[in-house]
Structure 1
Amino acid sequence: MSCHPILKESIKEKHHQILVSCVECHTKTPTTMVECGGDCFACHSQNKLIESNRVEHQNLASCKKCHINKEDIFKTPGINEGSTLVDLLKNK
């Protein structure tokens, strides 16, 4: 995966094997990409991928075990836009 050169050394690790299937749909050398970040989620929204209707993308939720999601880093667990005080108290 030349778009993510950092994966060359770690793609054989068990927890990265899920990414091998990405190139089945996505080209190995995207012509539109000049440079990318240190991992897939430096450029791609982890939440957007996980919330898609593609099972392959939903499986990327396991990446959250190691990769801190920049979209979630400042969210308080259990709080979302639709939470009420009663909801929060029930979750304690």
Structure 2
Amino acid sequence: MIRKEGKARWVYTCELCRVLAAHPDHFRAIEQQQAHEGTIEHATKPMADALGIFAESLTEMANAFVDTIASALKPLTDALATPPNVPHDPSLLRDRRKWGGR
């Protein structure tokens, strides 16, 4: 969008890309508009925004899935955890060489 804001001040604004350029005459503002709208960034901006939204939603779904799986496997990991390194025979607890003893 090109608009006149004052004497010798023409402003080109692209709301999609958030580009703002001020020029002293209308012709240069038109040239800026044509140059900007011919760039790859302006052409791919809507697709990039849509892919960003899709990626965010996909990330949220993946995080929810991982949290669900982790909460379901928590009892299994607790059951399969290795027992503490303590001997079954209480007399071995007094052995200072391995378990500290007294």
TM-score (norm 1): 0.21
- Structure with bigger helix share is 2
Q: Which has the higher contact order (CA 8 A, sep 6+)?
A: 1
